[in-house]
Structure 1
């Protein structure tokens, strides 16, 4: 997949369904972090783009990185977002900047492991089960077009769900 945007679709849907038990910002942080290696390999014109970060072992280690460094970074980013929106007509866009450890954990590990899973279906240069196996048995398991469509559909579903939830919460607050 061309970096993070398509990977965010499933994360958005998960956020819509699980709410405060899943951090979409840390999920996104994990997506970007895991794709830094292929970006560097692209810039170096290497033949193999997906190395250690695109293994399940790499997903575990990058999940830990996204959990600890991502929690600090994302909370800071959310606080900064809120400061910029501290104007009369923009306050409704402010978000909760506290991320629980549980939400950070689910965002980080679902982020890294789903990234490896989705990329395993599409990229021949991956060895997702390294060091236990050099093969990629998931390659072409599902056509790449279907993966793109699924991720896009989940993104649309997730955004619609988040909008409905936001409107519902605003409506119930005004009634009470």
Structure 2
């Protein structure tokens, strides 16, 4: 949970470079919504990386996000304009964005958290390895952090360039 913002980098960059195919708002919401598990943990005592940190859970989260983002396209247009996001929001791009965001979150966390079962109903986490775990942890979060910083840099540069026109 404390590193949830690092999850926006990879799906955000995908949305940035493929704006007609991937809705960036859906990708960012999808990448962060998975950590609802943390609040379920606080309120109900469920596992901290529980059902939403599985591919099936990520798919369910995406199914919830898709209609929300689709029907809120008009208010979200102002957000996109403020960030200078040039995206074409249709059902397909929103669906792809939500899925990329949610699945990328599970994928990133699966390398770091042993207790996850990303491929439920198969038990265990084949992506987690005790060998070099410290280095994998650093590498994954460094990559996520660099992707997030790159995304922010691209949008700041775009905003400055458009204001100077």
Q: Is the structural similarity TM-score above 0.5?
A: yes
1:88 aligned residue: none
Provide the TM-score with structure 1 as the length reference. 0.75
Instruction: Give, in whole Å, the separation in 2 of the partners of 1:95 and 1:114.
Output: 21
**In the alignment, what sits opposite 1:50?**
49
Matched ranges for 1:76-91 at <5 A? 76-79=74-77, 81=79
Over residues 117-137 of structure 1, what are the superposed CA-to-partner deviations in whole Å (9 max), with x where a residue is unaligned?
A: 111111122101111x10101
Instruction: Using structure 2 for the length normalisation, give the TM-score.
Output: 0.79
Structure 1 residues 44, 93: closer, same or farther in 2, change over 3 A? closer
In structure 1, runs of 5+ residues without a counterpart are: 83-90
Q: Is the 8 A contact 1:30 1:70 kept in 2?
A: no
In 1, the alpha carbon distance for the partners of 2:113 and 2:2 equals 11
Q: How much has 1:72 moved relative to structure 2?
A: 2.1
Gaps in structure 2 of 5+ consecutive residues: none
**Equivalent residue, structure 1, for 2:10:** 10
Q: Alpha-carbon deviation of 1:7?
A: 0.4
1:143 and 2:136 correspond: yes
Q: 1:77 to 1:68 in 2, by over 3 A?
A: same
Instruction: Name which one, 1 or 2, has greater alpha-carbon Rg.
Output: 1
What is the aligned partner in structure 2 of residue 27 from structure 1?
27
Aligned residues: 161
